């Protein structure tokens, strides 16, 4: 999954995003962190459910074609079919996604985004002006989490508009441009409430964070 996240952006695209972060942060006390992960959770049940479904179908077909004469005959086909199907479901994102509910994805992405907010110390700024742009590829979800200094003064709907912008860009295969555009807009919003002062230290690194 981490490899999928690494391939999501080229080195040039990462450099463009990091430059956009630096430019945005020159205008505000806000600190912007962009994080990309392959998946927010392993969803182990998806492999089991998919394995049972496809394994049963494959075993029934094989047993019927070879002359089904006992349950042991069926099980002899089912066990390897289940193992193979389960591994395929685990490794192939489009298929695996069929066996994970939208509510489970929403819950896991939200939990992982909050965990990443603290793990990457986005909260650790002088005026609590950190913001995390969290992109989870398997789930096709984007979350923007703002620290309490920002959330008190900026309505959540403004961040939701930016998540929609990034999500749309990813679907259209122009992820880097969409992320850069969202960062610019993020900087403009932050500048309204936390304009850059005389001492505008860079409190968090600008590099794109690649997670698991």
pTM, to two decimals:
0.86
> Does the structure show a pLDDT above 70 at 2?
no
95, 171: one domain? no
> Does the structure show a pLDDT above 80 at 189?
yes
- The Cα–Cα gap between 208 and 175 comes to 13
Q: Among 62, 79, 99, which residue terminates a domain?
A: 99
107, 51: one domain? no
108, 166: one domain? yes
71, 168: one domain? no
Which ranges of 26-92 would DSSP assign to H, the alpha helix? 44-66, 71-91
88: containing domain: 44-99
Query: What's the rounded mean pLDDT across residues 27-56?
Result: 91
123, 201: one domain? yes
Determine how many CB atoms are found less than 10 A away from the CB of residue 198.
4
Sign of CA dihedral 7, 36, 3, 48: negative
CATH at 153: 3.10.310.50
197, 154: one domain? yes
pLDDT in tens, 52-101: 888 888 877 877 777 666 666 677 778 888 888 888 888 888 889 999 99
Q: Among 99, 134, 167, which residue terminates a domain?
A: 99
Q: Say if residue 167 is exposed, middle or buried (CB neighbours under 10 Å; 0-12, 13-18, 19+).
A: middle
137, 167: one domain? yes
Residue 3 has a pLDDT of 79
pLDDT in tens, 102-158: 999 999 999 999 999 999 999 999 999 999 999 999 999 999 999 999 999 999 999
Q: List Cα–Cα distances, 171 to 18, 167, 176, in angstroms.
A: 21, 6, 12
Residue 211 has a pLDDT of 86
Counted domains in the chain: 2
Determine how many CB atoms are found less than 10 A away from the CB of residue 19.
13
């Amino acid at each position: 999954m981490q490899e999928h996240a690494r391939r999501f952006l080229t080195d040039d695209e990462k450099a463009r995003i990091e430059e956009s972060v630096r430019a945005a942060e020159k205008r505000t006390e806000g600190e912007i962190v962009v994080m990309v992960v392959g998946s927010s959770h392993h969803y182990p049940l998806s492999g089991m459910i998919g394995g049972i479904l496809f394994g049963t179908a494959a075993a029934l077909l094989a047993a019927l074609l070879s002359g089904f004469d006992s349950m042991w005959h069926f099980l002899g086909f089912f066990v390897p079919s289940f193992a193979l199907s389960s591994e395929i479901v685990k490794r192939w994102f489009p298929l695996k996604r069929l066996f994970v509910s939208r509510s489970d994805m929403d819950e896991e992405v939200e939990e992982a985004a909050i965990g990443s907010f603290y793990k990457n110390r986005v909260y650790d700024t002088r005026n609590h002006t950190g913001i995390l742009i969290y992109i989870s590829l398997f789930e096709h979800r984007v979350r923007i989490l703002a620290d309490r200094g920002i959330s008190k003064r900026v309505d959540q709907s403004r961040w939701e508009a930016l998540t929609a912008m990034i999500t749309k860009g990813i679907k259209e295969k122009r992820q880097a441009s969409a992320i850069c555009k969202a960062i610019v807009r993020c900087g403009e919003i932050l500048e309204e409430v936390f304009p850059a002062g005389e001492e505008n230290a860079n409190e968090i690194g600008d590099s794109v964070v690649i997670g698991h």
